[in-house]
Amino acid sequence: MNGGVSLKKRNLFSILFALTLILGMLAACSNGKSQNTNTSENSNKEEKNEEHANKEPRQGGSLILGTTAAPSLFNPYYSTDTSSRAIENFIFSGLVTINREFKPEGDVAESWEVSDDGLKWTFKIRQGMKFHDGHDLTADDVIFSYSLPLHKDYKGPSGLPFQVIKEINKVDDYTVEFVLTEPYAPFITITATMGVLPKHILGDVPVEELGKNEFNTKKPIGSGPFKFAVWKEGQYVKVEAFDDYYAGRPYLDSIIYKIVPDANAIIAQLQAGDITYTSISPTNVSIAKKMADEGKLVLKSGVSNAWEYIGYNLRNPLFQDIKVRQALTHAIDRESIVQSVLDGAGEVAHGPGSPANWAFTEDVPKFDYDPKKASQMLEEAGWKKGSDGILEKDGKKFSFTLTTTSANDIRQQIATVAQQQLAEVGIEVKIELLEWSAYIEETTPPKWNFDAIVAGWSIGSDPDPTYFWHSKEIEQGLNYGAFSNPKVDELLEKNTQVSDIDERKAVISEAEKIVTEEQPYTFLYYPMSYLGHSPKLHGPEFSVANSYYDIHKWWMEE
Amino acid sequence: MINYIIRRTLLAIPLLFGITVVSFIIMQLAPGDPTALMIDPMIKKEDLEAYKEMYGLNDPIYVQYFTWLGNMLQGNFGESLIRQGTSVSELIFARLPNTLLLMVVSTIIAFLISIPLGILSATKQNKLSDYVITIISFLGVATPNFWFGLVLIMVFSVHLGWFPTGGVETLGSSFSILDRIHHLILPAFVLATADMAGLTRYTRSNMIEVLRQDYIRTARAKGFKQNKVIYKHGLKNALIPVITIFGLMLPSFIGGSVVVEKIFTWPGIGLLFFDAAFQRDYPVLMAITVIGSALVVLGNLIADILYAVFDPRIEY
């Protein structure tokens, strides 16, 4: 996944680069490869792409991926970071994968069916699929893997998407049936994309010890297009083409996932040809554009599946009036934030979600920059200018602290801009910068020790917004601002139970419309992200859904 | 002498113990914990709690400390909290050779260049070569490592292609000494320049002071050659304070340099420590702190012993 690489330079810890923008990262942000269901369709796709038209794919070559963040381990049921997940997607195959448009495609599963009530999912497993050690992959491996998070001794981060599973049944060696407790639309894109582990290797390991098993760090074995070769601590992870991959051996001989902790060093290595594929941090976009103009780099970009916001703590009486919240948004010039802070690398947001995914709606109430209107609305809400120019009501000043993390330069700058703009309407803002871990501790449950925060969310392969807005997410979850609206709760509960995508989009849109009207947050912008690769590399496309889609078909010119 | 060494070593034990207590408490006082990096709607709060429970992060601090201490005394630095299933010693041993190589080589370069320059500067005091050396040293002190490193990479690696852009070895190649040296030159040089400036100035001022001493005047009066006066009588004495500097530099052999390691993609201890601090990977932090503090103690001891070697008046 690359939605979040937009932060800046300096001596910041690398994982933060990915994580600061993405305050939270959804599971399976980018799921690996896909399969070759329809050859004619695939060849059409290649012909359409003008760059590739005259060149024949070639076997060989090595893709060198540059990244600032080191992985931690390679077992999808235990890892939480983006680097580990990217590599897992080369090594493991899930029942399904998602394509560049978030649509599920068969991977280990050749096909699947869902019962009319949405409760029973039946997967037909591809026959003749092999693990990297030559063993056949069968229903037993699938059942073993997908039952793991349900096991009482399982200690890992992946429990949630499996909660809806009531039982998993083996119909025959190549058919598996899942029975759910309730219809759950994200089941196919989140749960069913989890990689299949080899039961013949891990079946006898006690579940509570699996997280620390050396399988995860020394010899992961899956059925994906690339097999694990070596992990050089602090340097790189190398995976090599798997000859018996079911969709054919990948064109690339190997992928080297290279850890380069400094964003400037990544650019230097890209220029020198020591890296052939990387996401470009916002500070380096101008250099990358220049390289692209000189023909040394192919630069691709798009809107990330993420949104940035200023979130208000609705527990604070200051923010309990809807008029006041709308006025705050009117007072903040988001267009100038995008232009001056981001150098144009973002799209002004009016509501939550992201244009990068299918559930996005533009049809939300808009509170454009209008400081006059903001002042007027604040006055209507009872706030009068005091002698020092700061708004007052019942003897209390309109003054609050805007908190963000020092790990994120962009958010710091946004805080400063917001401070100036809000001062113009008579609101006093103090800025508080906290180091990342401290920031998390202060702002999340059970402390919620903030007035307002500059933050952002990244969305996963399923756009379910329940986590951000449902009132049940207040006590423990990510609804830090304590937004609560019964109608929104109802719509959000409905959203995951609707299987029809258009109907589901309508439900999500309706919920987001209400949220936008209420303005619990000032929605700032949808960040752009950039991907740069060598002109000799063919195959990659910008995609927030699955950056490494069809990676077995990527190839390098000599 | 032997007695002195033993006494100093024994004294170091309570000192090191104190350091571990203080570091442990400070680390725990810092807000947040390793789960701060796992904010994800798909991760249940209970799962994070279970994770903390598994690593004993919810235990009272003294329980955590004594558990850690007990393991450490048996040579077990524990397991990384972030890299589940990877032992801390494994992480440190994978990176230690890189850091040692870089730091030792850069220190040697720094000494080899700066001591002669310092002597030259001192003997040609207020002459052109002295001014040139002084200006260059001040430039060296004032230039930030990260900037200098990036400039060297852009010029010598990207444009001229003489050196690799980073890393300790060519990707996927088998071990070769020449390849290692090739990768080592730029980062070692950048690190050395930072030390060089200071060392040159130190050597120069000490040398100037020594050359004003009566015994130097006596030596000259006796008709010794200028070179013999400077190198036999002057240098040895001028180097004594420089030894102190060396002792102070020793801990950085383990600590490494975050900035240079980062710019040159050099997988060393500095970066490991830096990352661990942000991730609140306590066992990694503690292990590096213990090794680092042991080296500080050792560095001071070595400096003291070297004093005795260079200055016969000192006895222990």
Q: Indicate the domain borders of chain B.
A: 95-240+259-269
Q: How far apart are CA A525 and CA A544, in angstroms?
A: 16
Place of tokens 């661990």: B276
Residue A148, SS3 per DSSP: helix
Query: Which of A194, A106, A188, A113 lies closest to A148 in space, CA to CA?
Result: A194
Task: Characterise A343 by phi-psi region: left (phi > 0), alpha (psi -120 to 50), beta (else).
Answer: left
Banded model confidence at residue A27, pLDDT cuts 50, 70, 90: very low
Q: How far apart are CA B95 and CA B272, in angstroms?
A: 8
**What is the CATH architecture of B95-240+259-269?**
Orthogonal Bundle (1.10)
Q: What Rg do the C-alpha atoms of chain A give, in angstroms?
A: 24
Q: How far apart are CA A226 and CA A243, in angstroms?
A: 9
Integer CA distances (angstroms), B268 to A30, A64, B72, B259, in order? 30, 21, 22, 11
Q: Percentage of chain B with pLDDT > 70?
A: 99
- To test the contact with chain A by mutation, choose from B35, B48, B170, B265 the residue with the greatest count of A C-beta atoms within 10 A, namely B265
- Kindly report the pTM of this predicted structure: 0.82
Per DSSP, the residues of chain B read: -HHHHHHHHHHHHHHHHHHHHHHHHHHHHSS--GGGGG--TTS-HHHHHHHHHHTTTTS-HHHHHHHHHHHHHTT---B-SSSTT-BHHHHHHHHHHHHHHHHHHHHHHHHHHHHHHHHHHHHTTTSHHHHHHHHHHHHHHHS-HHHHHHHHIIIIIIIS--S-SSSSS-TTPPP-HHHHHHHHHHHHHHHHHHHHHHHHHHHHHHHHHHHTSHHHHHHHHTT--HHHIIIIIIHHHHHHHHHHHHHHHTHHHHH--HHHHHHTT---HHHHHHHHHHHT-HHHHHHHHHHHHHHHHHHHHHHHHHHHHH-TT---
* pLDDT score, position B246: 77
Instruction: Tell me whether A406 touches chain B (CB under 8 Å).
Output: no
Asked if the model's pLDDT at residue A1 lies above 60, the reply is no
The string of pLDDT tens digits covering residues B196-254 is 888 888 888 888 888 788 887 887 788 777 777 777 777 777 777 777 777 777 777 77
Do A11 and B259 lie within an 8 Å CB cutoff? Answer: yes
Q: Which two tokens stand for residue A151?
A: 């096991």
State phi, psi for A353 to the nearest 5 degrees. Answer: 90, -165
Asked if the model's pLDDT at residue A14 lies above 80, the reply is no
If you average pLDDT over every residue of chain A, what do you get?
87
Q: What is the dihedral sign for C-alpha A13, A17, A18, A20?
A: positive
The string of pLDDT tens digits covering residues A190-202 is 889 999 999 999 9
A-chain CB neighbours of B154 within 8 Å are: 268
Give the mean pLDDT of A437-454: 90
Place of tokens 């002792």: B247
Do A157 and B277 lie within an 8 Å CB cutoff? Answer: no
Q: Which of B41, B90, B278 sits opposite A13 (nearest CB)?
A: B278
The string of pLDDT tens digits covering residues B257-305 is 888 888 898 998 888 998 888 888 899 999 998 888 888 888 788 877 7
Do A260 and B265 lie within an 8 Å CB cutoff? Answer: yes
The string of pLDDT tens digits covering residues A109-151 is 999 999 988 899 999 999 999 999 999 999 999 999 999 999 9
Instruction: Tell me whether A14 touches chain B (CB under 8 Å).
Output: yes
Q: How far is A330 from chain B (nearest CA, A)?
A: 30
Do A26 and B50 lie within an 8 Å CB cutoff? Answer: no
Q: Which two tokens stand for residue A87?
A: 């590599």
Q: Percentage of chain B with pLDDT > 90?
A: 6
Question: Where is mean pLDDT largest: A44-58, A299-313, B186-200?
Answer: A299-313
Those residues with Cβ within 8 angstroms of residue A43's Cβ, 6 or more apart along the chain or in another chain:
none
Instruction: Tell me whether B45 touches chain A (CB under 8 Å).
Output: yes
Per the document, the length of chain B is: 316
Q: What Rg do the C-alpha atoms of chain B give, in angstroms?
A: 24
Place of tokens 């680069």: A17
The string of pLDDT tens digits covering residues B57-75 is 888 888 999 989 998 888 8
* pLDDT score, position A54: 60
Q: How far apart are CA B312 and CA A523, in angstroms?
A: 74
| A residues 124-143 closer than 8 Å to B (CB) | none
